[in-house]
A and B are shown apart, each in its own frame.
Chain A
Amino acid sequence: MSAIPAPHHLTYDTTAAWLIRFATTADSVEPELTALDQRVGDGDFGTNLTGGMAGVRRALQALSDGPAADRESPAAPLATAARVFLDDVGGTSGPLFGLLLQELAAAVAANPATAGTRELAAGTTAGAAAIQRVGEAEVGDKTLIDALVPAAQALTACAPDTEPGQALHQAAVAAHQGAGSTTDLRARRGRASYTGDHARGVPDPGAMAIALLFASYDDALSSLDQLP
């Protein structure tokens, strides 16, 4: 953690830094995610994620170069990332990621001045629900839901005044465990469901990416000076 004190509320700078750090993380793990997806899916997940996050970087740069009024809310970077994933990313997992970001943005936008753990919990819970409405996956189907639902539960279990970095750390731990739990499962949803027992022994790459998303906030606080 940097010398900058952990902010008690989300700000434009912290949510932007969070997403930029996640983009960097996604780039560095892309070969691993692709290798996993080649074993359980159609092999495009890593590329879709890094391509989407590259688009998010560009969109955040445009936001940073644009009118200052667009940078007042911590929801703005999340809404920007949601639009990129929903509009520009192909495949199925990418747009589903967009749904999570859209719900996080909406929850944060509801209380932009004081958004924190309470809003992160509400947004993550709503994101998991939206993805489940659309994708019809349950926990145990070997999808990103196996990481997202435990993350939402961990955030909800935190006291509402918990510092967001701490709460997101809890979420990351829970999501990581959830992602790990997919290793021994046989997939019932998504492309991996066609591979049957071949998917056993391989964790779901979408679930891994969810864990990395939540873990990226901690790292981002130490890199606020890297903002565009």
Chain B
Amino acid sequence: MPLYFADSAESIVPDALAGFASAHADLVSHHPDHGYLRARGGSAQRRVGLVSGGGSGHEPLHAGFVGAGMLDAACPGRIFASPHNRQIFEASRAVAGPEGVLHIVKNYTGDRINFGIAAERLAHEGIPCARVLVDDDLATDSDDIAVGRRGTGATLIVEKILGAAADEGRGLEDLAALGAEVTRRSRSLAVASAAHTAPGSGTPAFELPDGVWEYGVGIHGERAGSTTPAVPLTQFVRTMTDRLLAALPDGPRPRVLALVNGLGATTSLELYGILHALTKALDDNGVALDRSLTGTLVSALDMRGFSLSLLAADDELLRLWDAPARTPAWPL
């Protein structure tokens, strides 16, 4: 892995977690024996612990959103690999509230299985557990894909809104239903102009010719179904926006919350330009951009790309989005 600044492929994740924990020691505690990060403090009202996790390489997701108003614990796996069920089980047991624990899981087979095994173990200990499965990626919305849509950028939206709702003392089933509704109202799409660097080889995970973009790419460097010629950005963002708006449930929505997300190697300069293009595209569709968040938040190592996520918003969801949060990476 010559391009990565790390001692080895094995050490990159544990070393980063140790560094992260010391950088944010006021907000999180690190439990290296079991491999999870836990929030310090938080709302005394909370009756349900919120636990998320997944492969590493998506920083700041998920560890960056552990803290007051968001997650109680995060379980990072190896790069692009699901966490072990033991991490999830131990983290869940540690942060479960009087009404149990809610797992926020991105839709990938390994994550589903490992969170599922942890849930079975929790049930044996008498700890109630429910799951929100985030499956927002429009690029994988096809009858040919038996495993369903992937979970991508909307995971952050779910984590923020559920964190605020959990702080209000809501119960397990209530939170699970709210998470499912936020997911139902969210869709994302991603495009890349260059692949991430594969940790094993140190070379690009796939090659793209000049002037060609990978449209519909995943957050693990999964290639899309097709490539597309690189067109002027404003035009391309409009195409993405139209497609996302058309996919939101229950017909045209007058108001949205948007996430303009960098996949790792896209500059802030570019991302804010993309937000500008998105705002115009929404405006042309008669849709109000009620809230937006721009930054590298759900990354795919150093992929040069971005994703757009739209949530069909309402007053209640916006109220929860606006609630204060204090975590290592929550920017608002």
Please give the residue numbers on chain A whose beta carbons come within 8 Å of chain B beta carbons, in ascending order: 86-88, 90, 92, 95-96, 98-99, 102, 106, 130, 133-136, 188
Is the pair A95, B124 in contact by a Cβ cutoff of 8 Å? no
* Cα separation A110 to B85 with both chains bound (whole Å): 25
Chain B residues near A136 (CB-CB < 8 A): 112
Question: B84: CB under 8 A from chain A?
Answer: yes
Between A86, A96, A102, the greatest number of chain B beta carbons within 10 A of the residue's beta carbon is seen for: A86
- Min CB–CB distance A4 → chain B (angstroms): 33
Interface size on B, residues (CB 8 A): 15
> B37-45, B113-121, B149-157, B291-299: which one contacts chain A?
B113-121
* Cα separation A68 to B117 with both chains bound (whole Å): 31
* Cα separation A17 to B116 with both chains bound (whole Å): 30
Selected from A88, A90, A96, A188, the residue in CB contact (under 8 A) with B117 is A96
* Cα separation A147 to B262 with both chains bound (whole Å): 46
Is the pair B120, A92 in contact by a Cβ cutoff of 8 Å? no
Is the pair B116, A133 in contact by a Cβ cutoff of 8 Å? yes
Per-position binary interface string of chain B over residues 101-121, scored 1 when its CB falls under 8 Å from any chain A CB and 0 otherwise:
000000000101110110111
- Jot down 18 A-B pairs with beta carbons below 8 A, ordered by A: A86-B86, A92-B110, A92-B113, A95-B113, A95-B114, A95-B117, A96-B113, A98-B117, A99-B117, A99-B120, A102-B124, A106-B124, A134-B116, A134-B117, A134-B119, A134-B120, A135-B113, A135-B116
By beta carbon, the residue of chain A nearest B146 is: A188
Is the pair A86, B113 in contact by a Cβ cutoff of 8 Å? no
Chain A residues near B86 (CB-CB < 8 A): 86-88
Is the pair B113, A134 in contact by a Cβ cutoff of 8 Å? yes
Chain B residues near A133 (CB-CB < 8 A): 116, 120
Chain A interface mostly: helix
Between A90, A106, A130, A188, the greatest number of chain B beta carbons within 10 A of the residue's beta carbon is seen for: A130
Please give the residue numbers on chain B whose beta carbons come within 8 Å of chain A beta carbons, in ascending order: 84-86, 89, 110, 112-114, 116-117, 119-121, 124, 146
Selected from B89, B110, B120, B146, the residue in CB contact (under 8 A) with A130 is B120
Chain B interface mostly: helix
Between B89, B113, B146, the greatest number of chain A beta carbons within 10 A of the residue's beta carbon is seen for: B113
* Cα separation A76 to B179 with both chains bound (whole Å): 39
By beta carbon, the residue of chain A nearest B82 is: A92
Is the pair B84, A90 in contact by a Cβ cutoff of 8 Å? yes
* Cα separation A95 to B87 with both chains bound (whole Å): 13
* Cα separation A6 to B119 with both chains bound (whole Å): 37
* Cα separation A87 to B119 with both chains bound (whole Å): 14
- Min CB–CB distance B57 → chain A (angstroms): 18
* Cα separation A106 to B116 with both chains bound (whole Å): 18
A102 touching B116 in the complex, CB below 8 Å, given contacts A86-B86, A87-B86:
no
Given contacts A86-B85, A99-B117, A134-B113, 13 further A-B contacts (CB under 8 A): A86-B117, A90-B84, A92-B110, A95-B114, A96-B117, A99-B120, A102-B124, A106-B124, A134-B112, A134-B116, A134-B117, A135-B113, A188-B146
Chain A residues near B116 (CB-CB < 8 A): 133-135
* Cα separation A99 to B89 with both chains bound (whole Å): 13
Question: 3 nearest interchain CB pairs?
Answer: A134-B116, A87-B86, A95-B117
* Cα separation A134 to B129 with both chains bound (whole Å): 14
Between A88, A96, A102, A134, the greatest number of chain B beta carbons within 10 A of the residue's beta carbon is seen for: A134
By beta carbon, the residue of chain B nearest A98 is: B117
Between B114, B116, B120, the greatest number of chain A beta carbons within 10 A of the residue's beta carbon is seen for: B120
Chain A residues near B85 (CB-CB < 8 A): 86, 95
- Min CB–CB distance A109 → chain B (angstroms): 11
Is the pair A86, B121 in contact by a Cβ cutoff of 8 Å? yes
Chain B residues near A95 (CB-CB < 8 A): 84-85, 113-114, 117
Chain B residues near A92 (CB-CB < 8 A): 110, 113
* Cα separation A227 to B117 with both chains bound (whole Å): 31
* Cα separation A99 to B116 with both chains bound (whole Å): 10
- Min CB–CB distance A106 → chain B (angstroms): 7
* Cα separation A92 to B89 with both chains bound (whole Å): 15
Chain A residues near B146 (CB-CB < 8 A): 188
By beta carbon, the residue of chain A nearest B119 is: A134
By beta carbon, the residue of chain B nearest A79 is: B124
